[in-house]
């Protein structure tokens, strides 16, 4: 389990990384936390000709308030997502999901940008970003653009990033007043990949009717799934067990072709999705 | 009842001697060996389960700079004999496959290069032309007469098929009021130690000698067999003892790993290292374990008295048969569990398939039969409507019945099964949990209690390996173990072991035993390991034998040393050697307390080494003693194999109580409590034993809930990484409460028994029953492991008619 030869660059400035990325194009891969890329290279499942190690770039790891929410640098470690006070107070859903990711040693290295760019369909952070309507700031040499989380994930290990682009920042708008959130998952063992995970946000009106519900899942398809029909069906309903049970039924119709593998059959994943959606919505509403 | 004899150091809860060098990283493992000019190996493994090798093109790989040798199986066969196999059947395995591959992952080409990176680059450049053969994956399909053959020379994939009958099984079943029958399925698991297997071999073409540094852990037992694989005279091969990062049965031989490194070293005249990586280990280490279907039956009377047990076993051994049916003969050591059962029948069908082969894994097959027997006992309790605890108690062998000869011929040395059970009950608060169970069910929550009582045989005697071979074709090997004790001129102790460290506590055991024998502090004892060149007989760790065997060897060596010390002291103190005694690190004239009638151990050491004129005439200088301890209570089987003799007689017992909650919506299982009471005779070191028990229980929970080596219908290994072979981590294991019950063995030094495998041998049926008990409202029987969340959800859905 040793990788083939590759060229290695360790730029200290973002602009230098972008120049290298422009020069090496599709042959290059970004090395951030390396928790997925390095094992894949060791097993020779991916063979990049060039690695651009961004770990020495200053000012890519941060959590900052903005006028409308928070901004998180792409190189921010999972352990920071788990423990950062600003995230904990403004977007506890991120911290809650981060605790499910691997073990402390993995969380100390893995990064937010890396997890999103890797786009593993079972990973926890992609559905969280979907549920939070995150905006992903993408840079390339000479330009930048913003991609919404909803438009970012295209398939297993596939995103809207084009050759030469890297994620620099993720911006998360504040939730409206009266919002609660929850993340819940089932995995075969603690710290392992989710079989199914659910991120939920509920916003209630003053009369505790549902103003807005957001439901996003991992483990049920090639990309994380935003269950928009389930969400729509909840709007205006009272925040009670009947509504959440209806959401659980509804979400099963939005899961078209769930994976069927060693750790969970398609039927089980669809079943789990329903159970976990009901529980996540219940929990999110209870936190308001 | 606890009857601990009075000892000063045996049983003392001192810190493990091994830990500082392990925790500080100074212990030397195989991969730490670095030699000048050493080459590194990578192995190209078959992508197919069953295929004929038509042609191998290695020309491009050989051209790669840094590559020294590209070795195919055909070329290797000129340097190597087949790897060791201990079966009577003609199942031949080569370190590198020659004509065809028999499992996905089998070695096809080995490369030696300047670095492992280059070696793996070279693998990319090798082209193989294959003729694909139909894979044999399902063991029952493999038994069909028209099934493709894994080994054509055998004419069948059923490599072993025999019914062992111990006692009048037919009569016992005929007089039974009822027979409990279950088909039970135990999954293929694997040992997966932290450190994979590996070897550094260094052949000197000048002298014809080979040095081996490898984590094979039965050095003295198998080195001479592996020398035959290497086509070298055994006395020209020296195996160096290495620290071993766990074995659990997976590192007993390592013929392929050593064979590949050895062949490449012989070809290059350079030291060559081959370390398995994790994929090598999971797909090709030969450490897969029992993969069994049991048609099991328990005959009993209506009052719950057990009469007989019948076990029809189908066991998927994979592609080779290295240890023959050792994993099934092991069952015969304790087939009746802790119960009075009159007779036993075991029909064993060993089936070859296109998978990496099965050998032994902690428990060595008795882990499986414990689960099977306890499943039958719980099923009997359910069918008879008798409480499982009382049913067990009703059938226990009683303390006054030991030593107890069981129908297979093995003996149970001692035990107090009701005492162990009572200790567990006293610590489990079952009344509380039963009340909670009722209360929580009304809230839609499901908790369950699993209680089992099971055996943990210890102190392996190798006769087990030969039961299946027709007498008198094979001899019966035995299992000696040696220790050398030397006292230096300043009184310090040096103890030499001939087994390796494999994650257990041999140094702690020996230091405490020497401290006991000489009334010195364990810190006065230095411990080292010796290579095979200097080795005394040693069967090494395995079969929960080392604490018993090292204790006996220390006692023997200490007796020799003390005898000489007493003679020297008596000579100097002008007394009789018979009147000498050891007390507080000095040799005294018995009964006297004035120091002038004593000598320190250092005084005696100095005289022994450097003051020949002060020694008795005719005494040689020096102060050391070696002792080779043979199994203290074993006997050969009869020719008909209807009485197997005593072969695993140091019989431990344990009661495990698992309390779980099952989330019936998701199928997830959570532990609420776990109580483990073990009786392994006198405890040498409580904390070392507790570590063994907790680690074993973790593996038992693994097999109950997580672990399974899966193969696809095409024979692909689907569990080749730890993403897909699921080991429990500390996060999946509860805080286990461990208690010791002590019933000393009458046959061993200090009364110790082995405790290395018990945790894994007892936990699975407790976890299974706890889940089944939780699901009682749904009427679900559990007959298959691992119990996955999905399997629970499906069973509930089926029970609900969904």
Domain holding A230: CATH number?
A: 3.30.390.50
Of B115, B706, B710, the CB nearest to A189: B706
CA distance A17 to B85: 57
A206 is a domain residue: yes
Q: Please indicate if any CB of chain B lies within 8 Å of the CB of A188.
A: yes
Quick one: A146 and A196 in the same domain?
no
Beta-ladder partners of B586: B583, B600
Q: What was the pLDDT predicted at B472?
A: 55
B724 and B587 assigned to the same domain? no
Establish if B177 belongs to a structural domain: no
Domain limit, last residue, from B229, B261, B284: B284
**A153, A173, A193: which is the final residue of a domain?**
A173
Q: Exposure of B521 by Cβ count < 10 A (0-12 exposed, 13-18 middle, 19+ buried)?
A: middle
From B467, B294, B462, select the one nearest B369 (Cα to Cα). Answer: B294
- Do residues A28 and A79 both lie within one domain? no
Report ipTM (2 d.p.): 0.96
CA-nearest of B637, B763, B654, B745 to B699 is: B763
Whole-angstrom Cα distance, residue B505 to residue B520?
19
CA distance A189 to A266: 19
Do B61 and B96 share a domain, yes or no?
yes
In tens, the pLDDT along B525-582 reads 999 999 999 889 999 899 999 999 999 999 999 999 999 999 999 999 999 999 999 9
In a domain, B558, yes or no: yes
Chain A: closest CA distance from residue B381 (Å):
31
Phi and psi, residue B702, nearest 5°: -55, -50
Query: DSSP secondary structure string, B478-504?
Result: ---EEEEEEE-TTS-EEEEESSPPSSS
Are both B575 and B513 inside the same structural domain? yes
B278: nearest CA partner in chain A: A1
| pLDDT score recorded for residue B218 | 87
Helical pair B366-384 and B758-774, crossing angle rounded to 10 deg: 30
Among B287-296, B472-481, B553-562, the minimum mean pLDDT is found in B472-481
Q: Return d(Cα A217, Cα A280) in angstroms, integer.
A: 11
Whether A280 contacts chain B with CB within 8 A: no
Mean pLDDT (chain B, rounded): 96
Q: Would you call B732 and A193 a contact, using CB atoms and an 8 Å cutoff? A: no
Residue B613 resides in a domain? yes
Residue A58, in any domain of the structure = no
Query: Is residue B446 in a domain?
Result: yes
Judgement on whether residues A106 and A70 belong to the same structural domain of the protein? yes
Q: Which two tokens stand for residue B128?
A: 């193989």
Same domain, A191 and A135: no
Q: Of B552, B525, B521, B499, whose CA–CA distance to B682 is shortest?
A: B552
**Chain A environment of B793 (Cβ under 8 Å):** 268, 271
Which pLDDT band, with edges at 50, 70 and 90, does A260 fall under?
Answer: very high
A166 and A241 share one domain: no
- Domain around A157: 63-173
CA–CA separation, B676 and B367 (whole Å): 16
Is residue B380 scored above 50 in pLDDT? yes
Number of structural domains found in chain A: 3
Where is the domain boundary, B629, B653, B685? B629
- Over residues B213-230, mean pLDDT: 91
CATH number of the domain bearing residue A149: 3.30.465.10
Rg over CA atoms, chain B = 28
Q: Which residues of A touch B727 (CB under 8 A)?
A: 189
State the CATH number of the domain containing residue B401. Answer: 3.30.365.10
- Residue A30 and residue A78 share a domain: no
Number of helices and strands (H, E) in chain A? 11, 14
Over range B586-615, report the average pLDDT: 95
Distance of alpha carbon B208 from alpha carbon B266, whole angstroms = 9
Q: Is residue B371 part of a domain?
A: yes
Which tens digits make up the pLDDT trace of A59-85? 999 999 999 999 999 999 999 999 999
To the nearest whole Å, the CA of A266 is away from the closest chain B CA by: 11
Question: Which residues, 6+ apart, have CB-to-CB distance to A23 below 8 Å?
Answer: none
Q: Provide the 3-class DSSP secondary structure of residue B153.
A: helix
Q: Is the peptide bond prior to B183 cis by the omega test (within 30 degrees of 0)?
A: no
- Distance, CA of B649 to CA of B457 (rounded, Å): 7
Looking at the 3D structure of chain B, how many domains does it have? 3
Q: Give the chain B residue whose CA is nearest to the CA of A185.
A: B666
A169 and A122 inside one domain: yes
Given the structure tokens 């409460």, which residue do they identify?
B737
CA distance B444 to chain A (A): 15
Tokens describing residue A18:
């972008």
Nearest CA in chain B to A1: B277
pLDDT band at B9 (very low <50, low <70, confident <90, very high): very high
CA nearest neighbour of B622 among B482, B481, B522, B485: B485
Find residue B160's DSSP bridge partners: B350
> Is A28 part of a structural domain of the chain?
yes
Q: What angle do CA B281, B283, B288 make, to 5 degrees?
A: 85
- Do residue B376 and residue B277 come from a single domain? no
The answer, yes or no, to whether the previous bond of A232 is cis (omega within 30 of 0) is no
Is B22 a member of any domain? no
- Determine the pLDDT at residue B5: 56
Residue B259 sits in a domain of what CATH number? 3.90.1170.50
pLDDT class of B1 with cuts at 50, 70, 90: very low
Residue A1 lies in a domain: no
Q: Is A45 on the interface with B (CB under 8 A)?
A: no
Same domain, B656 and B793: yes
- Which of B42, B788, B790, B794 best probes binding to A when mutated, by most A CB atoms within 10 angstroms? B790
A272, B794: Cβ pair inside 8 Å?
no
**Which of B688, B693, B758, B695 is CA-nearest to residue B13?**
B688
How many CB atoms sit inside 10 A of residue A280's CB?
29
**B790 vs A43: CB contact, 8 Å cut-off?**
no
With both helix axes pointing from N to C terminus, report the angle between B417-426 and B388-395 in degrees, rounded to the nearest 10: 160
The upper half-sphere exposure of residue B403, i.e. CA atoms within 13 Å in the direction of its Cβ, equals: 16
User: Residue B605: what are its φ and ψ, rounded to 5°?
Assistant: -60, -45
Do B73 and B126 reside in the same domain of the chain? yes
**Cβ-contact B411, B404 below 8 angstroms:** yes
Same domain, B651 and B748: yes
pLDDT above 90 coverage of chain B, percent: 93
The Cα of A105 is separated from the nearest Cα of chain B by a number of Å equal to: 14
Same domain, B413 and B509: no
Q: Phi first, then psi: what are they for B37, rounded to 5°?
A: 75, 10
Lowest pLDDT segment from A204-213, B215-224, B699-708, B716-725: B215-224
- CB distance B460 to B530 below 8 Å: no
Give the pLDDT confidence of A137-146 residue by residue, as tens digits: 999 999 999 9
B296 and B278 share one domain: no
CA distance A109 to chain B (A): 18
A25 lies in some domain? yes
- pLDDT computed for residue B688 by the predictor: 96
Contact check, Cβ <8 Å, A262/B710: yes
Looking at residue B621, the DSSP 8-state letter turns out to be S
Tokens for B707? 């672990």
Across the interface, which of B121, B666, B727 has its CB nearest the CB of A4?
B121
- Is residue A2 assigned to a domain? no
* B762, part of any domain: yes
* Closest of B320, B309, B310, B372 to residue B350, by C-alpha: B320
Say how many CB pairs under 8 Å bridge A and B.
Answer: 61
Q: What is the CATH number of the domain that holds A49?
A: 3.30.43.10
pLDDT band at B684 (very low <50, low <70, confident <90, very high): very high
Contacts for A95 with CB less than 8 Å, ≥ 6 apart: A81, A82, A83, A84, A87, A88
Q: Assess whether pLDDT exceeds 90 at residue B621.
A: yes
Using the predicted structure, report yes or no on whether residue A201 has a pLDDT greater than 60. yes
If we measure between CA atoms, which residue out of B596, B623, B626 comes closest to residue B610? B623
Confidence of residue B470 (pLDDT cuts 50, 70, 90): low
Secondary element (H or E) of residue B378: helix B366-384
Average pLDDT in the B638-651 region? 93
Question: CB B793 to CB A186 under 8 A?
Answer: no
Q: Supply the DSSP string of B23-69, one letter for each residue.
A: HTT-SPBGGG---TT-EEEEEEE-SSSSEEEEEEE-HHHHHSTTEEE
CA pair distance A83, A66, nearest whole angstrom:
19
Q: Check whether residue B531 and residue B510 sit in a common domain.
A: yes
Separation CA B279–CA B271 (nearest Å): 24
Residues B53 and B102 placed together within one structural domain of the fold: yes
Of the residues B606, B629, B652, which one is the last residue of a structural domain?
B629
Interface test with B, best of A8, A272, A278, A279 (most B CBs within 10 A): A272
| Domain membership of residue B453 as a residue range | 292-462+638-799
CA of A2, closest CA in chain B: separation in Å? Answer: 5
Q: Which residues of A touch B732 (CB under 8 A)?
A: 189-190
**B726 and B594 within one domain:** no
Tell me what pLDDT residue B585 has: 86
C-alpha distances out from residue A93 to A3, A98, A182, Å:
36, 9, 6
> Cβ distance A204 to A284 under 8 Å?
no
Chain centroid offset of residue B256 CA: 20
| Residues A197, A278 share a domain | yes
Structure token pair of residue A32: 């951030």
pLDDT reported for residue B2 = 46
CA of B790 vs chain A CAs: smallest distance (Å): 6
Angle made by CA atoms A170, A171, A175, in degrees to the nearest 5: 135
Tell the burial category of B158 from Cβ atoms under 10 Å away from its Cβ (0-12, 13-18, 19+).
Answer: middle
Residues of chain B contacting A277 with CB distance shorter than 8 Å = none
Interface residues of chain B, partner chain A, Cβ below 8 Å? 42, 115-117, 120-121, 124, 277-279, 665-666, 668, 706, 710, 718-719, 721, 723-724, 726-729, 731-732, 788-790, 793-794
Write out the two tokens for B587: 């040799």
- A111, A22: one domain: no
Q: Identify the helix (H) or strand (E) that includes residue B629.
A: strand B624-629
* Token output for B247: 């074995």
A22 within a domain of the structure (yes/no): yes
Is B150 a member of any domain?
no
Same domain, residue pair A281 and A207: yes
**pLDDT classification of B471: cutoffs 50, 70, 90:** low
Reported as a single tens digit per residue, the pLDDT across B117-164 is 999 999 999 999 999 999 999 999 999 999 999 999 999 999 999 999
**Percent of all residues in chain B with a pLDDT value above 70, rounded to a whole number:** 99
B294-303 mean pLDDT: 98
d(CA B254, CA B200): 12
Half-sphere exposure of B693 (CA within 13 A, CB side): 29
Nearest to A36 by CA among A50, A46, A49: A46
User: Does residue A70 sit in the same domain as residue A153?
Assistant: yes
Any domain includes A249 = yes
| Band (B3; pLDDT cuts 50, 70, 90) | very low
């Amino acid at each position: 389990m040793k990788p083939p030869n590759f060229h290695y660059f360790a730029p200290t400035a973002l602009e230098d990384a972008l120049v290298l990325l422009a020069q090496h194009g599709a042959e290059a891969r970004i090395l951030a936390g390396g928790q997925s890329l390095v094992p894949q290279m060791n097993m020779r499942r991916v063979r990049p000709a060039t690695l651009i190690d961004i770990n020495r770039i200053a000012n890519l790891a941060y959590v900052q308030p903005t006028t409308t929410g928070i901004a998180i640098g792409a190189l921010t470690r999972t352990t920071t997502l788990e423990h950062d006070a600003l995230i904990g107070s403004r977007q506890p859903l991120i911290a809650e999901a981060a605790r499910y990711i691997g073990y402390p040693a993995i969380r100390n290295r893995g990064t937010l940008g890396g997890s999103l760019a890797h786009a593993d369909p079972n990973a926890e952070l992609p559905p969280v970003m979907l549920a939070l309507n995150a905006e992903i700031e993408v840079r390339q040499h000479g330009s930048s653009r913003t991609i919404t989380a909803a438009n970012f994930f295209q398939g297993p290990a596939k995103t809207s990033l084009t050759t030469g682009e890297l994620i620099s920042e993720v911006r998360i708008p504040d939730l409206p007043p009266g919002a609660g959130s929850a993340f819940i998952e089932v995995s075969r063992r603690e710290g392992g990949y989710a079989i199914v995970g659910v991120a939920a946000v509920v916003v209630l009106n003053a009369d505790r009717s549902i103003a807005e519900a957001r439901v996003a899942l991992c483990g049920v398809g090639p990309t994380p799934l935003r269950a928009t029909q389930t969400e729509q069906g909840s709007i205006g309903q009272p925040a009670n067990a009947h509504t959440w049970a209806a959401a659980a039924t509804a979400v099963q119709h939005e899961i078209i072709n769930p994976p069927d593998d060693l750790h969970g059959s398609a039927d089980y994943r669809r079943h789990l999705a329903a159970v976990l959606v009901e529980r996540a919505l219940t929990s999110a509403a209870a936190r308001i | 009842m606890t009857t601990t004899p009075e000892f000063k150091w045996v049983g003392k809860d001192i810190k493990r001697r091994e830990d500082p060098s392990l925790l500080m990283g100074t212990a030397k493992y195989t991969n730490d060996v670095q030699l000048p000019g050493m080459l590194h190996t990578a192995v190209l493994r078959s992508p197919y389960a069953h295929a004929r090798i038509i042609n191998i093109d290695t020309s491009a790989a050989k051209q790669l700079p840094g590559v020294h040798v590209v070795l195919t199986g055909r070329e290797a066969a000129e340097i190597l004999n087949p790897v060791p196999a201990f079966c009577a059947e003609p199942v031949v395995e080569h370190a590198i496959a020659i004509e065809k591959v028999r499992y996905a992952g089998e070695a096809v080409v080995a490369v030696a290069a300047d670095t492992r990176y280059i070696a793996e680059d070279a693998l990319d450049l090798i082209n193989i032309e294959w003729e694909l053969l139909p894979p044999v994956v399902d063991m029952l399909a493999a038994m069909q007469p028209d099934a493709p053959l894994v080994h054509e020379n055998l004419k069948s994939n059923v490599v072993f098929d025999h019914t062992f009958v111990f006692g009048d099984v037919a009569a016992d079943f005929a007089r039974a009021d009822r027979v409990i029958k279950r088909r039970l399925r135990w999954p293929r698991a694997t040992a997966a130690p932290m450190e994979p297997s590996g070897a550094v071999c260094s052949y000197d073409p000048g002298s014809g000698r080979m040095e081996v540094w490898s984590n094979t852990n039965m050095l003295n037992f198998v080195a001479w067999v592996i020398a035959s694989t290497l086509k070298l005279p055994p006395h020209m091969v020296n195996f160096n003892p290495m620290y071993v990062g766990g074995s659990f049965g997976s590192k007993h031989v390592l013929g392929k790993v050593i064979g590949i490194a050895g062949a490449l070293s012989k070809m290059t005249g350079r030291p060559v290292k081959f370390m398995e990586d994790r994929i090598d280990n999971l797909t090709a280490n030969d450490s897969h374990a029992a993969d069994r279907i049991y048609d099991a039956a328990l005959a009993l009377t209506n009052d719950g008295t057990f009469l007989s047990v019948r076990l029809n076993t189908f066991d998927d051994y994979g592609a080779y048969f290295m240890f023959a049916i050792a994993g099934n003969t092991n069952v015969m050591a304790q087939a009746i569990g802790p119960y009075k059962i009159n007779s036993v029948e075991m029909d064993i069908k060993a089936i070859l398939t296109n998978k990496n082969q099965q050998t032994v894994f902690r428990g060595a097959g008795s882990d499986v039969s414990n689960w099977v027997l306890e499943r039958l006992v719980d099923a009997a309790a359910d069918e008879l409507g008798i409480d499982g605890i009382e049913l067990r108690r009703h059938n226990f062998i009683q303390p006054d019945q030991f030593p107890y000869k069981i129908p297979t011929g093995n003996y149970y040395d001692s035990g107090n099964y009701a005492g162990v059970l009572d200790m567990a009950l006293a610590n489990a608060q079952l009344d509380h949990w039963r009340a909670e169970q009722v209360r929580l069910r009304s809230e839609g929550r499901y908790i369950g209690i699993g209680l089992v009582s099971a055996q943990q045989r210890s102190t392996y005697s190798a006769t087990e390996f030969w039961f299946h071979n027709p007498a008198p074709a094979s001899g019966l090997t035995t299992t000696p173990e040696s220790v050398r004790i030397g006292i230096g001129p300043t009184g310090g102790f040096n103890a030499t072991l001939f087994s390796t460290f494999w994650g257990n506590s041999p140094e702690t055991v020996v230091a405490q035993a020497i401290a006991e024998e000489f009334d010195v502090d364990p810190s006065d004892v230095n411990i080292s390991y010796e290579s095979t060149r200097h080795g005394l007989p040693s069967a090494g760790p395995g079969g929960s034998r080392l604490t018993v065997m090292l204790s006996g060897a220390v006692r023997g060596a200490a007796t020799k040393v003390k005898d000489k010390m007493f003679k020297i002291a008596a000579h100097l103190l002008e007394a009789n050697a018979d009147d000498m005694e050891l007390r507080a690190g000095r040799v005294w004239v018995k009964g006297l307390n004035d120091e002038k009638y004593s000598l320190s151990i250092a005084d005696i050491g100095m005289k022994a080494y450097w003051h020949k004129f002060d020694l008795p005439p005719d005494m040689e200088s020096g102060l050391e003693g070696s002792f080779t301890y043979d199994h203290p209570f074993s006997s050969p089987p009869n020719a008909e194999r209807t009485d197997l003799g005593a072969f695993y007689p140091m019989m431990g017992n344990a009661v495990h109580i698992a309390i779980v909650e099952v989330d019936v919506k998701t199928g997830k299982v959570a532990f609420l409590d776990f109580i483990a009471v073990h009786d392994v005779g006198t405890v040498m070191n409580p904390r070392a034993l507790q570590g063994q028990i907790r680690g074993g229980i973790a593996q038992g929970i693994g097999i109950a809930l997580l672990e399974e080596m899966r193969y696809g219908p095409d024979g692909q290994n689907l569990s080749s990484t730890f993403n897909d072979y699921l080991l429990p981590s500390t996060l999946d294991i509860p805080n286990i409460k461990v208690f010791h019950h002590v019933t000393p063995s009458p046959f061993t030094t200090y009364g110790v028994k082995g405790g290395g495998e018990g945790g894994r041998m007892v936990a699975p049926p407790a976890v299974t029953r706890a889940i089944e008990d939780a699901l009682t409202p749904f009427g679900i029987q559990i007959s298959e492991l691992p119990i996955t969340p999905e399997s629970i959800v499906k069973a509930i859905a089926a029970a609900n008619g969904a």
